[in-house]
Amino acid sequence: MPSKYPPMGWNSWDCYGAAVTEETVRKNAVYMAEHLKEFGWEYIVVDIQWARPSAVDHSYEAFAGLTMDEFGRLTPALNRFPSAAGGAGFAPLAEYIHSLGLKFGIHIMRGMPRMAAHRHLPIEGSSYFCHTAADPHSICMWNPDMYGLKCELPEARAYYDSIFRLYAGWGVDFVKCDDIAREYPHCRKEIEVISEACRACGREMVLSLSPGPAPLEEAEHLKRYADMWRITDDFWDEWRLLKGMFEREEKWCIHAGPDHWPDADMLPIGALRQCEDPEERTHFTQAEQRTMMTLWCMARSPLMIGGELPKTDAFTLRLLTNAPLLAIDKESWCAHPVCASDTACCWIAPRKDGKGCYAAVFNLADEEQILSFPADALEAGCASATELWSGQPADGSLSATLPPHDAAVWQITF
Amino acid sequence: MPSKYPPMGWNSWDCYGAAVTEETVRKNAVYMAEHLKEFGWEYIVVDIQWARPSAVDHSYEAFAGLTMDEFGRLTPALNRFPSAAGGAGFAPLAEYIHSLGLKFGIHIMRGMPRMAAHRHLPIEGSSYFCHTAADPHSICMWNPDMYGLKCELPEARAYYDSIFRLYAGWGVDFVKCDDIAREYPHCRKEIEVISEACRACGREMVLSLSPGPAPLEEAEHLKRYADMWRITDDFWDEWRLLKGMFEREEKWCIHAGPDHWPDADMLPIGALRQCEDPEERTHFTQAEQRTMMTLWCMARSPLMIGGELPKTDAFTLRLLTNAPLLAIDKESWCAHPVCASDTACCWIAPRKDGKGCYAAVFNLADEEQILSFPADALEAGCASATELWSGQPADGSLSATLPPHDAAVWQITF
Amino acid sequence: MPSKYPPMGWNSWDCYGAAVTEETVRKNAVYMAEHLKEFGWEYIVVDIQWARPSAVDHSYEAFAGLTMDEFGRLTPALNRFPSAAGGAGFAPLAEYIHSLGLKFGIHIMRGMPRMAAHRHLPIEGSSYFCHTAADPHSICMWNPDMYGLKCELPEARAYYDSIFRLYAGWGVDFVKCDDIAREYPHCRKEIEVISEACRACGREMVLSLSPGPAPLEEAEHLKRYADMWRITDDFWDEWRLLKGMFEREEKWCIHAGPDHWPDADMLPIGALRQCEDPEERTHFTQAEQRTMMTLWCMARSPLMIGGELPKTDAFTLRLLTNAPLLAIDKESWCAHPVCASDTACCWIAPRKDGKGCYAAVFNLADEEQILSFPADALEAGCASATELWSGQPADGSLSATLPPHDAAVWQITF
Amino acid sequence: MPSKYPPMGWNSWDCYGAAVTEETVRKNAVYMAEHLKEFGWEYIVVDIQWARPSAVDHSYEAFAGLTMDEFGRLTPALNRFPSAAGGAGFAPLAEYIHSLGLKFGIHIMRGMPRMAAHRHLPIEGSSYFCHTAADPHSICMWNPDMYGLKCELPEARAYYDSIFRLYAGWGVDFVKCDDIAREYPHCRKEIEVISEACRACGREMVLSLSPGPAPLEEAEHLKRYADMWRITDDFWDEWRLLKGMFEREEKWCIHAGPDHWPDADMLPIGALRQCEDPEERTHFTQAEQRTMMTLWCMARSPLMIGGELPKTDAFTLRLLTNAPLLAIDKESWCAHPVCASDTACCWIAPRKDGKGCYAAVFNLADEEQILSFPADALEAGCASATELWSGQPADGSLSATLPPHDAAVWQITF
């Protein structure tokens, strides 16, 4: 699986919901290529409902007509993705993204469209039919489109092979599979079949599982069958949710490593919810955004930007291009919290090259605090240290005066 | 708190139960001084029931007479600890241990003797009385001797101050407090009061809390108020219990650090249960003993030998004097499992000096397996490696043919 | 609601499963009219899947074609119910049943056919459409045909009104509504809407809710909105299930009364599972059948025969025509157990006319026992008593030698 | 067991707590004999702590000195019960109560005084000792005096035999055993041993178990081993508690019968909490008191007056001497609720003589309501009816205008 480091990119959900269009995707890709690519950002991911012509916002529609081919495989809605005309699917868009030096990803729901089963359509590349693969009792609790598959049957594998064959032909590099990561135990087999179809399709793809929270006790299964998986339900720009992530990351931190990354979800920063209001910006304070970026990097979560990139403001751009901070993802390992309370938290992350470590302190309280990283926890000492948000060297102790919800993180040499 | 590294020593419970005597303690101390001290072993701990004259094995006795002073503080039973005569308490024995270059520890139960309360005895150094400090509803589920204290009252602190004052006078270096580590939430305050009395007594003592399993969600409280705490119920020489420790250590590993060590309990090796049968030896295989020592060292658990030291055989002695293995405790940090299943488990532990790491594989199956440490997990590479049980260099891969329940552990340089 | 006494009748499920046909229904009705009607038996109920042309046994079929009208209302499969041709529905069959002096019932699933929603069909008698009434997330766990409705919307009431209007036009006297009785809390509102549509349809119908176990804590809701409801999952001819019914009836007994009858499910006696094997007979012993009939009558459960009536043997016929026993249903009230153990149970039921009571003893053990009804429990004394299975007067005490799983029941006068 | 009907009497707890004295008991007994006896009231029960000289109110005292004989059996504190002097125990007081035509009861805790075990006292009438019968781990959660016994040992039966022998000698007619009724499963055996000692002691005594709530699933065990048992924790004069009793009585009603009476606890009416404040009266409204008496009588709960009898006011006296109401206890059976909601409840109780029934309606709402008993539930009809609080005949329907929390109850003839 192609994720030596935590994947970095952009996803359409936070800014466009179900209503993302080709035009939007292209302009976000252009921005990434010009401003972010050099810092490691590379994936452009089209999120949910790209096969529904009627989508206009973040909501779903019961019994909506979805575009699909004669084999019950969803295809882009032509009114929203015109380059898909003539049966081209996402191939032209993927080709464009690739031409910018970036990678292309799509969202899928587990299962097949309900109407593919009700219509008794054939499964491409096989002698099976959709209605024998579909399980009429396996539905999603929050989206009305699909039936899960009877994964103990070869018909199910045939259907999943048929869609990954299609995606490989389109040039897809990243698949976010939804309605599955928290659906243990009943989706255990479906995860395995999807993972195997993905790996066998002839093109290297990152397989990302949503939504969370995935169950901690399934960590080993997830590590084996997915590149990344959500450890939380949808994450948005609310302090309550960000604060809650500290407990989640504490539980999951020991499970992060090459090709298996616990995913704290997208970064809801910059211009969000644009289909509802083009003036909308993140509700996070700057302090909270620093805290989020620091925690995601220390815990080595994948980094997927949620905001509309062409509207990126100067603060957000600096946040996304802090090279020493982003380096934590690649240079550190074995990170974990060393202390935690309702008002403060500290994390440590050794550097792989043995030349030092990273140490972070988080102010989780609603008032300013002076916080120090506990000296005892630096068992190998601290010859020098630089704080990565200010760029300033530490003088003596690892201590910082932090506004509410803010963070400091030091790069330490022994 | 004086535990920069996980404490190492010997405890009387596994070999003598409630019936340990001064003579036994002395001869075990002599053995340690002569054979083990140079490898870091230093604590000699007298376990439970030293105040009961009638103790003969591992069992307790309801409504037994216990020796105590006029302030309701337990004192050593003179028939078992003759040097305690004349009110000397454990001072002569401690002095002897210290003369061997070792440290001296004792076991206590939380609370006070029931009879101290029923007799309305005064509390030393205060104007309070035992019967107002004792809580008649706070009893131990498995031992009939004591009442817990009403820790919201100053009487309780006065009583605990009075016993730690006594222990400091005796020269105690280590206190194992029982009936408390898993007794959350009702013993939360009692832990705090005991910890504060211990720290205020004028002598540096390691505070160890038993029995487990302590609740994981209380990790921060335990880290603050204790040097070590049991993460498991009593551990004995059964493979089922050893196998179960892998899951416990996975949960607790991120909480190990200077002055706060999750404790996997004593090492039941060598000559055990001597009060029942002088021929008894550990039921663990040699492979299982290697697995235990490897896991305890990788997870940095305290190491407390359970067997009677003078009867130590050659295999056990090598086990306890494998210097490169024991060094893991002091040289590594941030250890955690990188994969785990019902049949195998792998752990990694970075070295603090950045010159490499330790990697271990465990065969948890009942048949021989060839096990390899996953190459991906060595993110910084592996220039060379030495297996620490065999002393042999690794040739190419980190792979080992392991008998059932055995382990291999490599010291790796980048 | 038209159930002053617990309903008595026949239901097609136990003998024909999903494959019942018109011919079968007619011949069972004829038998009932000739042999059972005089003892109070009156309902003839066509159970599940009468709209599926392909049904051949007790199983269901995913994505099967169902017969329905242009308003998404299921209609009888013409290959199985030929008199329904020309849009007549069940009217001709109902008319025939009525001509025999009996009453006619049908089974329905809550909700509407999935295809009615996917096809966006109109709702009869309204300006609404099926796809806005259907809830794509509300499915049955064991049958693939239907979607539940969004019962907070007027569309849902419109749809349920439309089907009950149809049934009233057919002449239906009894509706067994399935996938609903144990589906609290999410089907609470659906029960209310169905109940109101049933009562408002212009024809008096018994409303029976399945399957169980309905939750005891919803007893008052059930009493208000239904005539009878299942207190158990499907009941079949296994002693384990019959024995388990004693505990269920103990919990529900105080909730039995006019127009609200806890339902212990059909009587699996006589010729069962005829679509699988025409030689099949009940696996219950004669003793067990007496126990079942006694318990159902004492607890005043509805009585629905499951066996194929024309194949009724002499023993079964006597069982179904024991007039003094069947009278318990109508003459008693306030029944309850007076003692219960794993091996025996006693029930008492006062007569409404004050002239005495009924007392039953049940041998739940696997060996013969002599059982006595406790004299203390007969607070008003016992002037004389007759055992209703043997027809013999009691001599002195209420005591019986009972084979395994057998019962005795006395009619007592004070 | 001597409780053909639910016991009726007076208990000292509600008015005197732990501080009841002989003088008080005598004057309450005199009042009962003069004013209440003719209505069926007969038991005078001395509640908890009669062996503690220092008791002054409702509270307990840790490590208090208790009066006991040389066999570890508690005896009345002489400062409070002077007639017990000279080893007479409660015999003189019992004799006095008997002389008034009443019966005498006492409270006990399960187990033995803690000090009897710590002192290693002998057990009367046996060669055993208290410290081998006592279980040091079996304590009461709310009272500090006793240890439960090791009931699998003959020592335990010997001790319980010894105390019931003492009580039989004193002339005790009623024993309320505390710390036991809700202590399943660990006190199951202790209940059996106490019950057997009680029945074998040579004097007929009512055995009452406290405190509740006893577990419903142990109904058969309780029916076998006790005459009455609490179905609730301590009941006081709060509407919240009274309202909650309706749900408890619904669950327990089928278990009431001769020699086994679910007990809703004392009637907190009249002059309560006299040791704290001699002016204290019940906080229940008159309406609430009618509701309580009606429910207790319909459900056939034991009736134990909590108020100080000599201070009984006119209203309370009428409440306690409503002969037709109190007759429900003896004349009815098989009572149960017929409908229940958060705002109203109806109960029915057939008369044993078949000449009619009782029907009650309860206004559980906080505002006045007109409530009718459901006509359907009177399956045998209603020729005439008299409301028992007003004494008025019903005109046509069973309907009443009820103030908040009030009740009406009709005696109905068919």
Span A166-201, pLDDT tens digits = 999 999 999 999 999 999 999 999 999 999 999 999
Please give, rounded to a whole number of angstroms, the shortest distance from the CA of A200 to a CA of chain C. Answer: 30
A407-413 vs A356-363, strand pairing mode = antiparallel
Closest chain B residue to D132, measured at CA: B62
pLDDT tens for residues B18-35?
Answer: 999 999 999 999 999 999
Per DSSP, which regions of A19-65 are E strands? Answer: 43-46
CB B79 within 8 A of CB B148: no
Report yes or no: D163 at the B interface, CB cutoff 8 Å.
Answer: no
Closest chain B residue to A414, measured at CA: B353
Give the residue among A255, A176, A258, A163 at the shortest CA–CA distance from A210.
A176
Report yes or no: B55 at the D interface, CB cutoff 8 Å.
Answer: no
What pTM does this model have? 0.91
Distance CA D201, CA D205 (A): 9
Query: Token digits for A42?
Result: 């590379």
Q: Which residues is D411 bridged to in the sheet?
A: D358, D386
ipTM of the complex: 0.93
Report yes or no: D62 at the B interface, CB cutoff 8 Å.
Answer: yes
Among A136, A140, A144, select the one facing C63 at the smallest CB separation.
A136
Residues in chain D within 8 Å Cβ distance of B134:
62-63
Among D258, D350, D376, select the one facing C350 at the smallest CB separation.
D350
Give the residue among D13, D15, D87 at the shortest CA–CA distance from D50.
D13
Please give, rounded to a whole number of angstroms, the shortest distance from the CA of D121 to a CA of chain B. Answer: 12
Give the residue among B255, B316, B238 at the shortest CA–CA distance from B6.
B255
CA distances for D327 relative to A49, D6, D294, D315, D388, angstroms: 73, 11, 11, 19, 11
Residues in chain B within 8 Å Cβ distance of D62:
117, 131-132, 134-136
B182 — alpha (psi -120 to 50), left (phi > 0) or beta? alpha
CB A24 within 8 A of CB A11: no
**Three-class SS state of A3:** coil
Query: Token digits for C223?
Result: 């009493």
CA distances for A161 relative to A3, A114, A123, C215, D273, angstroms: 22, 18, 10, 44, 79
| Helix boundaries (H) for B128-236 | 130-133, 154-170, 188-199, 219-225
Please give, rounded to a whole number of angstroms, the shortest distance from the CA of D114 to a CA of chain B. Answer: 9
Q: Which residues is D371 bridged to in the sheet?
A: D400
Report yes or no: D315 at the C interface, CB cutoff 8 Å.
Answer: no
CB D37 within 8 A of CB D46: no
Please give, rounded to a whole number of angstroms, the shortest distance from the CA of D78 to a CA of chain B. Answer: 22
**Three-class SS state of D318:** helix
Residues in chain C within 8 Å Cβ distance of A114:
114, 118, 136
Q: Which residues is B393 bridged to in the sheet?
A: B386
Q: Name the neighbours of C, counting chains with at least 3 Cβ pairs within 8 A.
A: A, D
**Which residues 6+ apart lie within 8 Å of B173 measured at CB?**
B43, B94, B103, B104, B105, B203, B204, B205, B206
- Each residue's pLDDT expressed in tens, for chain A with a length of 414 residues: 579 999 999 999 999 999 999 999 999 999 999 999 999 999 999 999 999 999 888 899 999 999 999 999 999 999 999 999 999 999 999 999 999 999 999 999 999 999 999 999 999 999 999 999 999 999 999 999 999 999 999 999 999 999 999 999 999 999 999 999 999 999 999 999 999 999 999 999 999 999 999 999 999 999 999 999 999 999 999 999 999 999 999 999 999 999 999 999 999 999 999 988 999 999 999 999 999 999 999 999 999 999 999 999 999 999 999 999 999 999 999 999 999 999 999 999 999 988 899 999 999 999 999 999 998 999 988 889 999 999 999 987 899 999 999 999 999 998
Among A131, A140, A141, select the one facing C62 at the smallest CB separation.
A131
Question: How far is residue C195 CA from its own chain's centroid?
Answer: 17
Residues in chain B within 8 Å Cβ distance of D115:
118
**Which residues 6+ apart lie within 8 Å of D270 measured at CB?**
D281, D282, D305, D306, D307, D308, D309, D311, D312, D313, D316
Q: What single letter denotes the amino acid at residue C262?
A: P
Report yes or no: B131 at the D interface, CB cutoff 8 Å.
Answer: yes
Residues in chain A within 8 Å Cβ distance of C142:
137
Distance CA C5, CA C332 (A): 11
Query: Token digits for D87?
Result: 């080893």
CA distances for C122 relative to A50, C161, C218, angstroms: 29, 13, 34
CA distances for D391 relative to B270, C260, D292, D322, angstroms: 87, 33, 18, 10
pLDDT tens for residues A320-330?
Answer: 999 999 999 99
Give me the pLDDT at residue D353, please.
87
Cα C50-C51-C54 angle, rounded to 5 deg? 90
Cis peptide before B211 (omega within 30 of 0): yes
Mutation site, C255, C329, C334, interface D, largest D CB count within 10 A: C334
Report yes or no: C115 at the A interface, CB cutoff 8 Å.
Answer: yes
Q: For tokens 């999952």, what's the residue?
A: C233
Mutation site, B346, B348, B378, B379, interface A, largest A CB count within 10 A: B379
CB D382 within 8 A of CB D351: no
Cis peptide before B337 (omega within 30 of 0): no
Give me the pLDDT at residue B382, please.
87
Query: Token digits for B229?
Result: 């705490």
Closest chain C residue to D356, measured at CA: C354
Please give, rounded to a whole number of angstroms, the shortest distance from the CA of B130 to a CA of chain D. Answer: 10
Closest chain C residue to A143, measured at CA: C137
Residues in chain C within 8 Å Cβ distance of D335:
334
C-facing residues of A in 182-221 (CB < 8 A) are none
**Three-class SS state of B298:** helix
Give the residue among D264, D287, D285, D282 at the shortest CA–CA distance from D272.
D282
Give me the pLDDT at residue B236, please.
98
Give the residue among C90, C127, C128, C134 at the shortest CA–CA distance from C112.
C134
Please give, rounded to a whole number of angstroms, the shortest distance from the CA of D376 to a CA of chain C. Answer: 6
Distance CA D238, CA D233 (A): 13
Distance CA A215, CA A340 (A): 22
**Three-class SS state of B245:** helix
Report yes or no: B135 at the D interface, CB cutoff 8 Å.
Answer: yes
Section B249-269 average pLDDT:
97
Distance CA B323, CA B39 (A): 7
Among C257, C259, C336, select the one facing D334 at the smallest CB separation.
C336
Residues in chain D within 8 Å Cβ distance of C414:
353-354
- Each residue's pLDDT expressed in tens, for chain C with a length of 414 residues: 579 999 999 999 999 999 999 999 999 999 999 999 999 999 999 999 999 999 888 899 999 999 999 999 999 999 999 999 999 999 999 999 999 999 999 999 999 999 999 999 999 999 999 999 999 999 999 999 999 999 999 999 999 999 999 999 999 999 999 999 999 999 999 999 999 999 999 999 999 999 999 999 999 999 999 999 999 999 999 999 999 999 999 999 999 999 999 999 999 999 999 988 999 999 999 999 999 999 999 999 999 999 999 999 999 999 999 999 999 999 999 999 999 999 999 999 999 988 899 999 999 999 999 999 998 999 988 889 999 999 999 987 899 999 999 999 999 998
Distance CA B146, CA B140 (A): 7
Please give, rounded to a whole number of angstroms, the shortest distance from the CA of C220 to a CA of chain D. Answer: 7
Distance CA A91, CA A99 (A): 12
Please give, rounded to a whole number of angstroms, the shortest distance from the CA of D136 to a CA of chain B. Answer: 6
Report yes or no: A354 at the B interface, CB cutoff 8 Å.
Answer: yes
